[in-house]
Amino acid sequence: MHALLLTNVCIWFKIKWVIKMLYTHKELLNKYKSNYQIEKAVKENKIFKIEKGIYANKKNVHYLEVLAKKYPKAIITRDSAYYYHNLTDVIPDRIYLATNRTAVRINNNKIKQISVSDNLFELGKETIVYEGATINIYNKERMLIDLARNKNQIGYDLYKEIISNYRKLANSLDTQKIEEYLQYFVNGDKIFEIIQDEVF
């Protein structure tokens, strides 16, 4: 019995290592104790440097896994959220990330940082798996509200495509969530009218 338990534990640890694991430089320092040992592990292909400050136990890592590791509190929003929710096939030129207003400025030309007030920041946040990467993203209900709020800031063709796709899944949307979220927005009644006219 004990031998079987020990075998299962060993298998679990092996599987855990086979699964892609990402590490920050700080996390590796706790394991390897010095920069020299980290560099040595990289040279010996025990770990792989993905980019500055990010390492992995596998050479090939999905860019969204790296993003989630670097910015664990950030939430995918705007054009990126519509794309990852399959509401548009237009690939955004940058990844749109929502952060609260006290977050450190992200200096990366591949990322568009959106500052969000504390009372709205985690509203509609969910975790999904996209192409094997676990990411924080605003759910479809929250993104519908943002679509209605930012209607005049979104290109006409893109807006029409996203709205058309929302209509197709209207019956699967949680209207109770939408109504609850709208209580936190200025002009919630007006936003609700737009959603009613455009989607339901």
Q: How would you list the strands of the sheet with 54-56, edge to edge?
A: 22-24, 54-56, 48-51
Q: Do 51 and 114 belong to one domain?
A: no
Q: Do 25 and 124 belong to one domain?
A: no
Q: How many domains does the chain have?
A: 2
Q: Do 75 and 55 belong to one domain?
A: no
Please return the burial class of 65, using the count of CB atoms within 10 Å of its CB with bins 0-12, 13-18 and 19+. Answer: buried
Q: Examine residue 45 and state whether it is found in any structural domain, yes or no.
A: yes
Q: Examine residue 183 and state whether it is found in any structural domain, yes or no.
A: yes
Q: Examine residue 8 and state whether it is found in any structural domain, yes or no.
A: no
Given 8, 32, 61, the domain boundary residue is: 61
Q: Do 56 and 105 belong to one domain?
A: no
Which tokens is 47 given? Answer: 């770990």
Q: Is 115 left (phi over 0), alpha (psi -120 to 50) or beta?
A: beta
Residue ranges making up the domain that contains 24: 19-61
22 near 50, Cβ under 8 Å?
yes
Q: Do 24 and 44 belong to one domain?
A: yes
Q: Do 33 and 74 belong to one domain?
A: no
pLDDT in tens, the chain (200 residues): 555 555 554 444 444 444 669 999 999 999 999 999 999 999 999 999 999 999 999 999 999 999 999 999 999 999 999 999 999 999 999 999 999 999 999 999 999 999 999 999 999 999 999 999 999 999 999 999 999 999 999 999 999 999 999 999 999 999 999 999 999 999 999 999 999 999 99
Q: Examine residue 77 and state whether it is found in any structural domain, yes or no.
A: yes
